[in-house]
Structures are given as C-alpha cells and as structure tokens.
Amino acid sequence: MLLNIKKYLLLSFLLVTVFSISQDKEKNLRVYLGQKQFSIPHKGEYIEIQLHFEGYTLQYLALDGGLQSTVEVRLAVYQGDSLKISDNYRLNSPIMKDSIIDDFYDLRRFALLPGNYNLVVEIKDLNSTNEPIKASKQIKVEKKNDIVSISDIEVAELITRGDTSSVFFKTGYNIIPRILTYYPEEFNSLPVYFEMYNTDQIDSLSAFILEQKIIDKQTGNEIVDFTRLARMKSSSIIPFIRNIDIGLLPTGNYDLVFKILDKKEQVLSQKKYSFERMNEIETSFNADVVLIDPAFQESIHSDSVRFFLSSLIPIANQLEVKNILKILQARNDSISRKQIQGFWLVTSGNRNYEEWVKYKAQVLMVEKLYSNSFQAGFETDRGRVYLQYGSPTTAVQKDVSSTEYPYEIWQYNKIGRFSNKRFVFYNPDLVTNGYRLLHSDMVGELKNNSWQYDLNKRNTPRGNIDDSNQFLDNSYGTQSNDLFRQY
C-alpha cells in the first residue's frame, strides 16, 4: 500500500546501500538506487525507495520551453514468490533549458511488515530504442514501531522550503536525498536527517542523551572534533536534522554514528552512515594552544624527541609527513613534542596516550631488530612495513644460499580489505642489516616482476634479453619462488 506522502512523510538522512544500473547502447543510462526505512507510530514500518537519474545519460525531446526526457519505472517487492507491492509509472524530467542537462530524482514510499524482501526495479528510457535496464536488491525491514530505535540516516542533496504537493516533502521541507556516499572537496557539509522512536519508554524519564561520533573505518579511532552530546526531550517520535561541517575532515573512509543513551549512558539504539571523504587539506594545529600532557612529557626523553617525531612518518599521510619534516627542520623540541601529541589526538581521539605508548613500543622494537649503521629501524623497509601494516602472519628468513642474496618473505593474512599479501626483502650488500624491499603484491607497494632474477644476481649468469630468468630454474639452493608461492 502506498503511503499518503503529505500526511506521513518524515524524511530521514540515511546511509543508503547504493548501486547503479546502466545500459550499453546509444547512451549508458545510469540510475542510482537507494532505500531507507522509517516508521509511523502505532501504524507500522515503511520503506523509501530513492532514484537518482544522471541527466546526460537519457534521450530528450524538444518542447516549447526546452528539453525533456521521459522514463517508465516498474517497481516490485517480493517476499519469497509472493508479490507484495507493484508500482508502474511514467516520470518526466524537469524541463532542461539552454541545453543545460541536470540530474533529477524521484522516490516512492511503501508500507511493509518486518521481514526480508527482494526489490526488483525496471527502468525504460521512452525516448530511446534501448531495452529496459533491470536490477534487484535485498531489503530487510526491521521492527521499530514499539521499541526504542533510530531510523536509517539520510543525507540531503538539497533542502528547500516545504511544498506539500512534492514527493520530497517532510517536516516542513522538501528534502532530496543524496544516494551517493562519496564526498569530494567541494562538499563541506553533511545535512543529516533521521527519526527516533519510542524514547518516551526509557525508564519513564522525560529526557535522554543523543551521541554523535565520526569513526575512522581504517583505524577504528574516534575523530574527537566531531563528537557531540545533546540532551533530548523524550517522545514517541522525534524528527532530527543537523548540518555537520566536514570542511576540515581529511581524506578517508568514515562511519557517522548516532546513539541513544539512557541516564546510565547505556546504548539503547544506534545507527551508522558510512561515507568516503576526499579532502587533501593540510592537517595542522596551533602549537601555542596545545597543552602538553604530562604523560607525554615523561614518555619522551629530551634526547629522543626528534627520533620519535620522525618515527611517525611510516604511518602518516603525505600532508602529515610534509608538516613533520617542516617541524624537524625548525629543530624546536617544544613544538616537536606538541606535534607528537597532536598527531595522536587527531588519529586516536581520547585514546591518544594509550595508542602512542603502543606505537612507541613498536618503534623501539623495530629499532632493535632492523636498524643498521646508516638507518634507524623505522627508516628501513622492514621497519616501515612493520609499523605501517603490523606484524606479519608468517615470516621466512633465508640467510645462506649459493645463488641468492639473503632474503626474507613476509606474508599477511589480512591488510585492511586485502587478503594474503606478501613482501620480499633482500640484503644485496651482504654486510649491513639494510634489507631492502624487492617486491610486493600489496597495492601501492613496489612491484618487481623480475624480483627472482634480481635476488639471484649474487652468483648467477645473466639471462638473455627475451628470458631474464633463463638460468634461475637450475640454480642450486633456489627456494624463494616456492616459498613465495606457497602462501
């Protein structure tokens, strides 16, 4: 059953599971599909199906006022083999004037009982000879109507004054949902909307706490500058809107998390919105206003301040490295101490000291294991890889071979989203402990397709120009290839 939009639409800015559907003839029709779930007190759950059409991928007809495209949309929701919802309609784009083609949007709302469903979408450009494009998506509708809960979180593409005749009308505004979750530099805010349900059931209290956090997905650390707590008045339904300034949020992948807390700060419900940020800003801080934590003072001896500041380079991004090098050139120990503390405040939030102590122990360990007469441990390739990716799952060391230089092969079961990644280090000078990275299959690392040839240069004739590995197979004692492949 299609909901009465004018009466019941209370839009929520949610993280939508986003995917696109396209066709390959004439033009690549491109449509982004999103879905959100909301609730109506004492009535039940409903879903919001959102469509974002890339305007330039459609065909247009000339009208007196400009150009217009028309699409046919077929929506069907199944539970098993049973058809629960069917909606077929035609949608005209806004009239495009002066040949400026913009994207346009649409949404539909349907009441559904809690359960698992399959959404099937078919879209046809009626001005094109191409076949319709089709896609399907699994939907899970959760029960929210009689428990303390948060709707999905939605981010707005555009918010304007409300028009009750608009399909985008909600709580006095027309809110066009943003389905894409990528935010480049020109996007400096997240206008979020969601709804909270049944908070009046919390211990019969008249208020509760709403907590906002942004979490770095790679490190799991809280970005403390974005943490907010708000005291809220309890009610059966609370629409919530907030514009979050992300102008100073650097490049990364993040979760925006909202939680409902009771008076004991116990989490009663939470929702997250995952997004990607591209923002190559220079992260720095005003050293004059940074108060040194006594614990940081005591953990860094006066003669090792520059050493530990330099040791942050393996885990810093390019802009942070630039800032660290600038401070090292200034040779100011006070600012260097503040930079160390500031780095961990940014990356680890309220766990900054604990994370620093753990990292410091790793730095001292790689110094003991990998340093040599001309490099500190963190400056070596092995030290840098260890600090950046952690301890390898397995490590094979080969010090003696008649043909190969001394080498080590490190294997990681997991690095972020990557599985089974390997690093080959070798020591071509045979004297120092200065092992170099020779080859890795990790994205962004040195890739050397002739690494076996370079490893066997110690006592092996050169291959011909067509086969650089000509003599490698018969070299006595050569095991590096087998060791590399066995993982």
Residue 282 counted as domain residue: no
pLDDT of 204: 63
Looking at the structure, do residues 344 and 402 belong to the same domain, yes or no? no
pLDDT for residue 460 is more than 80: no
Residue 161, in any domain of the structure: yes
Give CA separation, 65 vs 61, 97, 318, in Å: 11, 7, 50
Mean residue pLDDT of the chain comes to 84
Q: Based on the domain organization, do 398 and 360 belong to the same domain?
A: no
Give residue 15's pLDDT: 29
Q: Are residues 168 and 268 in the same domain?
A: yes
Choice between 146 and 127, residue whose per-residue pLDDT is larger: 127
pLDDT-wise least confident of 9-23, 309-323, 379-393: 9-23
Looking at the fold, whether 231 and 353 belong to one and the same domain comes out as: no
Q: Is the pLDDT of residue 350 over 70?
A: yes
Mark whether 309 and 209 lie in a shared domain.
Answer: no
Asked if pLDDT for residue 291 goes beyond 70, the answer is no
Instruction: Copy the structure tokens of residue 398.
Output: 């080969």
pLDDT for res 439: 94
What local confidence, expressed as pLDDT, does residue 282 receive? 55
For residue 365, give the H/E element and its range: helix 352-370
CATH number of the domain that residue 38 is part of? 2.60.40.3880
| 305 vs 8, residue with greater confidence | 305
Domain termination site, one of 277, 305, 333? 277
Residue 252 within a domain: yes
Q: Is the pLDDT of residue 131 over 70?
A: yes
pLDDT the model gives residue 467: 47
Q: In terms of domains, do 60 and 190 share one?
A: yes
CA distance 52 to 50: 7
Scanning 113-248, the segments in alpha helix (DSSP H) are none
**310 lies in the same domain as 451:** no
**Domain of 209?**
5-277
Q: Do 80 and 187 lie in a common domain?
A: yes
Domain for residue 426, yes or no?
Answer: yes
Strand partners, 155: 192
Residues 137 and 58 placed together within one structural domain of the fold: yes
pTM higher than 0.75 = no
pLDDT per residue over 380-411, tens digit each? 999 999 999 999 999 999 887 777 889 999 99
- 188 and 336 belong to one structural domain: no
Confidence class for position 339, pLDDT limits 50, 70, 90? confident
Q: pLDDT by residue (tens digit) across 164-223?
A: 888 998 878 888 999 999 998 888 899 999 999 999 887 666 889 999 999 988 878 888
227: which 2 tokens?
Answer: 């943490």
Instruction: Count how many domains the chain has.
Output: 3
376 lies in the same domain as 414: no
For the chain, give the percent of residues with pLDDT over 90.
Answer: 50
Say if residue 292 is in the same domain as residue 322: yes
- Point out the domain boundary residue: 384, 410, 431: 384
Task: Pick the last residue of a domain from 384, 414, 438.
Answer: 384
Q: What pLDDT shows up at residue 286?
A: 53
CB 217 within 8 A of CB 263: no
